[in-house]
A and B are shown apart, each in its own frame.
Chain A
Amino acid sequence: MPREGILIEKPLERLSPKQVQQIHDASIDILNDPGLLCFNENAAEIFQGSGAVVSKVSGSNTPCWHIKIPGKLVSSALKSAPSTVTLGARNPENTIIMKGDEPRVFFITGSETNIWLDVDFPTYASKTDPNKETKIPEFKPRRGTVADLCDSAHVCEHLEMVDGYIRTVNIQDNDIDVDNKDVNKYFASLNNTTKHVMSGLTNLKQLDNVVKMAEIIAGGRDNLKKNPLTSFITCLVKSPLQFVDDTTETFMEVCKRGLPIVVSSSPQAGTSAPIKEAGIIAQINAEVLAGITLGQLVNKGTPVLYGTVPVRARMDTLGDSYGSVETSQYNIDCAQMARFYNLPNYSTSGVCDTKIPGQQSSIERLFSNVLVTLSGPQFLHCAFGLLDCNSVFCLLQAVLDDAHFKMIKFFLKSPGINEQELETVKKQIRDVVATPQKMFINYIRSVMRTGEISPPYPFEGEGDSDDVFALASQRLQELRDKPVEHIDKATTARIFREIPGLLPRLNIYEGKQ
């Protein structure tokens, strides 16, 4: 049985059918005028050979082509792009099956942050009463390492609501460089979780090594096709409307290999996209459609996700504001556009603007997590544990997020109202009203342990104290103490033999993580 996700029976939609069509028409217009700038020659050639209007831009410091993509090319790509995309896993029970017309939401970690946030609970004594002591959480940022990535994958393996894993932290160890980063980040992830592993690629030269590693784990090339336990993300389009040279090349190479890939665009309303909702949605849609079109031209039928990470600019810094209300609105609109195209949507929620876990973090992330989930994106790259606009990762926050997603899941259960149920409760009401105490408490017990009643908040403290962080920290330790099913010894040995650049300390059978 694949993973269940959450089926949204009535997805939240902000756009009317007419507005959806208007956005689509506007995006097609944008692809024609102004079109896109393409900094990748191979992509320009593919577009030119397929009927797009391509012209070399003169006077540019770097080679660059102007591309106008006709609507019929986009329509053809939308027809050939599969509406169902399967993401496999080391444990087949963790397989994710996404259907473009089914708003079933799967929750994924990510994205790659530079900073890892440790938490400690030092004890402080009161100045007025030194006998009165209290523990206060202290968050300590530091650069992420490969050991942190293993730790994160390990914990996320045990977080119930995490359906798949995108590396949460950038590995910045002294012995990691551009040539060995990809193999190590994929191996660290794959070896510590049996869920699906998705990642971006740092160096295109490492693509074949990563794919080979996945083939070894899956049991061969054909098995990897059937069970694609890894997939890729590429931001091939830089907003506004520019195909970047290296990521476009990576994108095309992944497409050639037929592995699932996210066509992701992340414009910022106000700087790299219009500040108005109509503008950013029309533009991001055009950018993703351009990427999907290229992917289908490279390899017809290649599985792609309609990837959208729109965000509004902060007015004080012009940095990203993931915590803004508009960011959720954009993501909800994009989920609706993807459904219009019958393609699975890679969406975003839960990233907050604040730097540490706390009240602002809770409010910002829960706001977007609830609303964007309700819109029914299939792949909710939902930023378990992400803080400071995608630059800080905190496992404690990920543990909290998991608990909060469980609450959202419970909320989204079907009402369960039917004739039989109503007959039962009518009898119950009549029976209770006839008793002297008129209380329904006796009927609670039959449902109390069946999962029909939402559990209390798992990190509720005693009395007046707020012990959420301390209790979540205990839970984190429990998860760390639970074992994970690593890749077996023989397969690990083969991977280390055949894949260059792996750090010996990642081989749990010979070294220490």
Chain B
Amino acid sequence: MSEEILEKLKENVIQGRKTGDDMGVDESLSGTPGVLELTESALSEDISPESIITKALTPGMEIVGEKYSKKEYFIPDMLASAEAVGAAMDVLKPLLEKSNVETKGKFAIATVKGDIHDIGKNIVAILLKGAAYEVIDIGIDVPEDKIVDVVRQEKPGYLGLSAMLTTTMTEMKTIIETLKENNLRDKVKVFIGGAAVSEEYARQIGADAFCADGFEAIKTLDNFQAT
């Protein structure tokens, strides 16, 4: 029974169906339980949160990633699956905390001061949440003080900064400098992204990495996890 639920859960991650109302790639699934309902069912069957993550959510997302690489899936499919996994993680998080199971880490993300572009930031946030990171979305047009406050209080291991404009990208340097002034720079890895910036710019301002998109962000964070 538990195997069956986990298999269905994995399939619904692949289908990107957060709830029973969602349509997946396979339209015939419409009306059947989605990831949220199946996560609840799995918990009621006494399947552990760790099993749900390792046997259904993570392998489901891996298959989604493979389909994306093979151009069978596109970004909207990835996002739908990541959102479904993110919703399941919200249900599982209190249980994981209760049993002292560590998540992959906290990731805070913001679009810098003067910049209101948020599509890229949102996509990165959804994908990382789907990849089992705890995501703190600080918002758009965020001043450096607020970012520093979040780093100090929430203690994320990773900070993502997004800028779309050449006029706002300089804010990233200011934020890094402010983190240094507050003795927080060595407590957090800083990633930058957005149309205005590059790998070279990341090196120039002392960021830890440049990520071209959300998928690269997952890879980069996972690599940091491994080291």
Contacts and interface: CB of A to CB of B under 8 A. Distances in A.
A439 B122 contact: yes
Contacts of B75: 441
A448 B76 contact: yes
Interface string B1-37: 0000000000000001000000101000000000000
Contacts of B74: 448
B25 A449 contact: yes
B122 A445 contact: no
B131 interface: no
A437 interface: yes
B119 interface: yes
A437 B76 CA distance: 14
Contacts of A446: 23
B125 to A, nearest CB: 8
A441 to B, nearest CB: 5
Interface string A434-452: 0011110110111011000
A442 B122 contact: no
Interface in B93-134: 118-119, 122, 126
A448 B79 CA distance: 14
Contacts of A437: 118, 122, 126
Contacts of A445: 16, 23, 25, 76-77, 80
Interface residues of A, number: 11
Contacts of A449: 25
A439 B25 CA distance: 20
B64 to A, nearest CB: 13
A200 B116 CA distance: 64
Interface of A: 436-439, 441-442, 444-446, 448-449
Nearest to B139: A436
B70 to A, nearest CB: 13
Interface of B: 16, 23, 25, 74-77, 79-80, 83, 118-119, 122, 126, 137
A106 B6 CA distance: 52
A439 B74 CA distance: 16
Nearest to B121: A437
20 contacts: A436-B137, A437-B118, A437-B122, A437-B126, A439-B119, A439-B122, A441-B75, A441-B76, A441-B79, A441-B80, A442-B76, A442-B80, A442-B83, A445-B16, A445-B25, A445-B77, A445-B80, A446-B23, A448-B76, A448-B77
A472 B107 CA distance: 43
Nearest to B78: A441
Given A437-B122, A439-B119, A439-B122, A444 B76 contact: yes
Nearest to B125: A437
A285 to B, nearest CB: 50
A41 B25 CA distance: 69
Contacts of B16: 445
Given A436-B137, A439-B119, 19 more contacts: A437-B118, A437-B122, A437-B126, A438-B118, A441-B76, A441-B79, A441-B80, A442-B76, A442-B79, A442-B80, A444-B76, A445-B23, A445-B76, A445-B77, A445-B80, A446-B23, A448-B74, A448-B77, A449-B25
B27 to A, nearest CB: 9
Contacts of B76: 441-442, 444-445, 448
Nearest to A446: B23
A333 to B, nearest CB: 43
Contacts of B25: 445, 449
A176 B59 CA distance: 64
B140 to A, nearest CB: 11
Contacts of B23: 445-446
Nearest to A449: B25
A109 B175 CA distance: 62
Contacts of A439: 119, 122
B33 to A, nearest CB: 18
A442 B79 CA distance: 8
Contacts of B119: 439
